[in-house]
Amino acid sequence: MRMEQQRNRIVAVDVETPNGRDAAICQIGIVVSEYGDILKTESHLVDPEVPFDPMNIAIHGITPADVRNAPNFPTLWPRIAEYFTDSIVVAHNAPFDLGMICGTLERYGIPVPEITCCCTVQMARRRFSRETYGSYRLDTLCAAFDIPLTDHHDALCDALACYRLYRELLADFGEDPRDVRPYRKRVKPAPMPAGRFSTESETDLTLRKLRELLSGVHPTAFLHPGDSMAIAHWMDRHAELASEPPFDEIFRYLFRMISDKPLSCAEEADLRRLIGM
């Protein structure tokens, strides 16, 4: 399909996940649009065939019982595969959603298609500073642009909101050629050979900055609003790391903290271990 035709079909997607460790999804929402008109919407529960974490259930409300009779991903994929080719696939934090989809395909040995994608988080970052609205989170931007988000963390609701945000950003700020690009799985750098001189790695630098941010924070208590906002901003800036160890576990703890759910002493100790405090 020619690029001009491809640009006319936009497919917005959102996924919910059962835990922060496995490449797996338990729900996917899909919005298919051509020439600016929504043609169809789909919401599918998926049996991830991996355990659920209580934290994830608390976020999206999907339980193992809800997916007991749902198809697994290999069964569902032939029904939705066409949406990921000859389209621009839009997601809010596309590295996470597409990373989960492609990681699930790889887990089952299913070929991963070539995907052309657009991330509405990156679109927003290119168009205005974080201070403009306080965050690049989907719920924050939906409130700023008067976009309905009636059931946040339902995959179809979030996919619809993402699609409307995409259209709003284009209408208000115009196109940017950097918005649309081939999806490339993030590749971890090879470790430095023993004995070789090396400067601080990107991961070490990111963790050091996080340690500095949390140095005066007490994870076992309710956060001061300023601390909560600062942590949310850090999560926004590093959202592309949310599915990668050790940040997948770190993000789960941080999300708990900014959601007014203090950690237990054991969880605090684990968080400090993960970030090297």
Indicate if 19 and 76 belong to the same structural domain: yes
Q: Is 262 inside any structural domain?
A: yes
Domain boundary among 151, 182, 213: 182
Indicate if 51 and 95 belong to the same structural domain: yes
d(CA 176, CA 57): 37
What pLDDT shows up at residue 92? 93
What pLDDT shows up at residue 3? 46
Indicate if 111 and 80 belong to the same structural domain: yes
- 3-class secondary-structure state, position 215: coil
Count of beta carbons in the 10 Å neighbourhood of residue 105: 19
What pLDDT shows up at residue 243? 77
DSSP designation for 50: S
Q: Is 72 inside any structural domain?
A: yes
Domain boundary among 182, 215, 243: 182
Sequence-separated contacts (24+) of 186-189 with Cβ below 8 Å: 186/95, 186/99, 186/240, 186/244, 188/244
Q: How many domains does the chain have?
A: 2
Quote the distance between the C-alpha of residue 136 and its chain's center.
Answer: 12
CA distances from 3 to 6, 30, 164 (A): 5, 21, 22
CA distances from 219 to 88, 89, 129, 228, 261 (A): 40, 37, 28, 11, 9
| Strand (E) or helix (H) holding 94 | helix 94-107
Indicate if 60 and 161 belong to the same structural domain: yes
d(CA 9, CA 149): 23
Indicate if 161 and 207 belong to the same structural domain: no
What pLDDT shows up at residue 195? 46
What pLDDT shows up at residue 244? 81
Joined together, the tokens standing for residue 6 give 């491809």
Indicate if 156 and 216 belong to the same structural domain: no
d(CA 116, CA 107): 21
Structural domain containing residue 260: 202-275
Strand partners, 32: 11, 40
Q: Are 134 and 64 in contact (CB under 8 A)?
A: no
What pLDDT shows up at residue 7? 62
pTM, rounded to two decimals: 0.70
What pLDDT shows up at residue 196? 44
Indicate if 111 and 167 belong to the same structural domain: yes
**pLDDT tens sequence for the chain (277 residues):** 444 445 689 999 999 999 888 899 999 999 999 998 999 999 999 999 999 988 889 889 999 999 999 999 999 999 999 999 989 999 998 988 999 999 999 999 999 999 999 999 999 999 999 889 988 889 999 999 999 999 999 999 999 999 999 999 999 999 999 999 999 875 544 444 444 444 557 788 888 889 888 887 888 888 777 777 778 878 877 887 887 888 888 988 898 888 878 888 888 888 988 998 7
What pLDDT shows up at residue 260? 77
d(CA 89, CA 166): 11
Joined together, the tokens standing for residue 168 give 């709003």
**Interaxial angle between packed helices 94-107 and 73-80, expressed in degrees from 0 to 180 and rounded to the nearest 10:** 120
Length of the chain: 277
Please name the residue that has the structure tokens 């940040």: 247
